[in-house]
């Protein structure tokens, strides 16, 4: 879709996105997740300020309906390829930390270059302003200080994996069910894969579960009674 909107107005793009609830949610989730991942990964306030300024430009251009004037979306595939490479690296195991870090830095610098030089029409201004505010290490390159400890953070990695899936899984429209209820059930199932499942309560505390046996057949009730008695016995044995 990014290749087909060159020369179009913002309204056209937003109608295309908002016309499908799943696409609308996916676009918002990709943007917010990528922003959070970059904020966490970068370990330099100046680098974070650049990302923050880019995000402010995105949100301001959307609000002022000049998004397609300020961002060349037909160049988005270049950015997507770089992002996929970065996420794959962050997901991978490594033996040599220095080599691993160097690869991430190279890809991250490529990503920021694509964003500021290719996708954004005025991205170079953000970089110029950031260089003017640098006080220490004037000759130091940007986006070299990383917080790789986050790769050990489960919640952060779950975000990263989900973003990678959103960017790489390209479903054909023919494989998407037309039935709204089927799509709702599939969405519920996929979202449940990322839920934190609570531990099941002990059977003797499940009063509603016991009450459900009243709606069963007599034979079924007998089976339930035996199962409940056995489970209660096991629970009590664990407590001793």
Residue 186 clears pLDDT 70, i.e. is over it: yes
For residues 16 and 26, give the distance between their C-alpha atoms in angstroms, rounded to a whole number.
Answer: 13
Burial of 239 (0-12, 13-18, 19+ CB in 10 A): exposed
Sign for the pseudo-dihedral over CA of 106, 112, 113, 119: positive
| pTM exceeding the 0.85 threshold for the entire prediction | no
Domain locations in the chain as residue ranges: 2-192, 203-239
**Hey, which residues does 42 pair with through a beta bridge?**
146
Whole-number percent of the chain with pLDDT over 70: 76
CA distance 63 to 142: 29
Share of the chain above pLDDT 90, in %: 35
Report, as an integer, the average pLDDT of 9-15.
85
Question: Helix or strand or coil: residue 146?
Answer: strand
CA separation for the pair 229, 222 (Å, rounded)? 11
């Amino acid at each position: 879709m990014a290749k087909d909107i060159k020369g179009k107005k913002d309204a056209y793009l937003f109608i295309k996105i908002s016309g499908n609830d799943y696409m609308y949610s996916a676009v918002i989730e990709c943007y917010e997740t990528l922003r959070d991942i970059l904020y966490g990964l970068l370990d330099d306030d100046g680098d974070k300020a650049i990302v923050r300024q880019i995000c402010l430009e995105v949100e301001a251009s959307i609000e002022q309906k000049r998004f397609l004037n300020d961002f060349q979306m037909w160049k988005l595939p270049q950015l997507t390829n770089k992002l996929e490479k970065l996420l794959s690296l962050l997901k991978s195991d490594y033996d040599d930390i220095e080599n691993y870090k160097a690869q991430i830095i190279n890809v991250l610098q490529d990503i920021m270059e694509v964003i500021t030089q290719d996708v954004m029409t005025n991205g170079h201004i953000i970089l110029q302003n950031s260089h003017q505010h640098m006080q220490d290490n004037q000759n130091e390159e940007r986006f070299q200080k990383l917080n790789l400890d986050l790769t050990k953070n489960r919640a952060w990695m779950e975000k990263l994996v989900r973003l990678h899936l959103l960017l790489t899984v390209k479903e054909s429209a023919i494989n998407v069910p037309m039935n709204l209820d089927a799509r709702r059930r599939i969405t519920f199932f996929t979202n449940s894969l990322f839920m934190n499942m609570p531990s099941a309560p002990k059977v003797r505390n499940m009063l509603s579960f016991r009450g459900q046996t009243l709606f069963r057949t007599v034979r079924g009730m007998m089976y339930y009674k035996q199962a409940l008695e056995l489970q209660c016995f096991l629970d009590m044995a664990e407590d001793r």
